[in-house]
């Protein structure tokens, strides 16, 4: 019989050979799931022999990860801004850069104003940003839209699991089915071009929906639509905050300078100018 430690070591080496990033961590996460314990609890049972049924479940997880299926899809969930969200092929896996954008919004940019009464999340995907904002601002009302029926279905499931009620989830092609105005609009739209997608890791290229990644006009068409139309839907002094791809925030801040009272950009933790903050006139 193999011990927990032996299985972990073998699996980490197997993942390394398959090019899986963070092989040790992923092996630990998957083994913890197979043993129905927390990752750190593995360290207390390294010598414990694994049963045949535990091994067979873990092997299935490990085979999937070696084919570069994302860890979050195998686990079926992801942690995002203190929420545990269901996660599968129906929508983009929420990213740490997007959590950072929320940090910026909550801690830095909007700290002088009271809670935004009305919030819109454009392209909500799994519902990640909308749900995090709805939880953080319980007195606000949040509208989350997406053009994908599958994403909307997942977002509704996530709202139900998190028991978050100050949210409406609606189908809309960007602003098409939206008549209301908002104090805060957030968006993490598709912003990659075809070359960037072809160069992305298999986890992204093969498992995130293409409609969540690709935007024509060198990744800029959706951002331009959003920045061009948002002023009609922002209350006086309200903010539009978008996540952008490489080099896009700087370009957009010049192109749209006349549409807003003030435009600012901010870097992510990798020092990429990742976010654009547009304040309505």
Binding interface with ligand SAM (CB under 6 A): 91-92, 94, 98, 123-126, 128-129, 145-148, 151, 173-174, 188-190, 211-212, 222
Q: In this complex, which beta carbon is closest to ligand SAM, that of residue 23 or of residue 125? A: 125
Residue 109 C-beta: closest distance to ligand SAM, Å: 17
Which residues are within 8 A (CB) of 226 and not within 5 positions of it... i.e. 6 or more apart? 122, 174, 187, 189, 240, 242
Residue 22 C-beta: closest distance to ligand SAM, Å: 20
Name the token pair of 36: 């129905």
Residue 71 C-beta: closest distance to ligand SAM, Å: 16
Residue 221 C-beta: closest distance to ligand SAM, Å: 9
Q: Whole-angstrom Cα distance, residue 228 to residue 19?
A: 41
Q: In this complex, which beta carbon is closest to ligand SAM, that of residue 62 or of residue 87? A: 87
Q: In this complex, which beta carbon is closest to ligand SAM, that of residue 37 or of residue 197? A: 197
DSSP codes joined into one string, 206-224? HHS-GGGTB-HHHHTHHHH
Q: What are the angstrom distances between the C-alpha of 136 and each of 35, 103, 105, 245?
A: 33, 11, 11, 26
How many CB atoms within 10 Å of residue 261?
A: 12
Residue 208 C-beta: closest distance to ligand SAM, Å: 8
Q: In this complex, which beta carbon is closest to ligand SAM, that of residue 34 or of residue 241? A: 241
Q: Whole-angstrom Cα distance, residue 10 to residue 22?
A: 14
How many CB atoms within 10 Å of residue 274?
A: 23
Q: In this complex, which beta carbon is closest to ligand SAM, that of residue 39 or of residue 171? A: 171
């Amino acid at each position: 019989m193999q011990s927990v430690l032996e299985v972990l070591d073998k699996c980490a080496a197997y993942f390394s050979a398959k090019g899986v990033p963070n092989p040790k961590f992923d092996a630990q996460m998957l083994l913890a799931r197979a043993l129905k314990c927390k990752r750190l609890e593995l360290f207390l049972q390294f010598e414990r022999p694994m049963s045949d049924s535990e091994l067979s479940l873990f092997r299935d997880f490990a085979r999937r990860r070696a084919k570069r299926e994302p860890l979050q899809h195998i686990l079926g969930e992801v942690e995002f801004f203190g929420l545990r969200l269901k996660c599968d092929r129906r929508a983009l896996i929420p990213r740490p850069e997007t959590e950072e954008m929320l940090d910026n919004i909550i801690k830095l940019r909007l700290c002088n104003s009271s809670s935004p009464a009305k919030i819109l999340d454009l392209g909500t995907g799994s519902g990640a940003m909308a749900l995090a904002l709805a939880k953080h601002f319980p007195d606000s009302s949040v509208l989350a839209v997406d053009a994908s029926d599958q994403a909307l279905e997942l977002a509704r499931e996530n709202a139900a699991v998190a028991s978050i009620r100050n949210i409406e989830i609606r189908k809309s092609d960007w602003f098409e089915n939206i008549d209301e105005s908002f104090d805060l609009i957030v968006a993490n739209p598709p912003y990659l071009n075809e070359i960037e997608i072809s160069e992305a890791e298999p986890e992204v290229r093969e498992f995130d929906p293409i409609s969540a990644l690709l935007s024509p006009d060198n990744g800029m068409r959706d951002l331009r639509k959003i920045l061009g139309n948002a002023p009609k839907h922002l209350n006086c002094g309200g903010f539009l905050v978008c996540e952008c791809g490489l080099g896009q925030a700087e370009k957009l801040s010049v192109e749209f300078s006349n549409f807003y009272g003030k435009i600012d950009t901010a870097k992510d933790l990798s020092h990429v100018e990742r976010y654009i903050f547009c304040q309505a006139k």
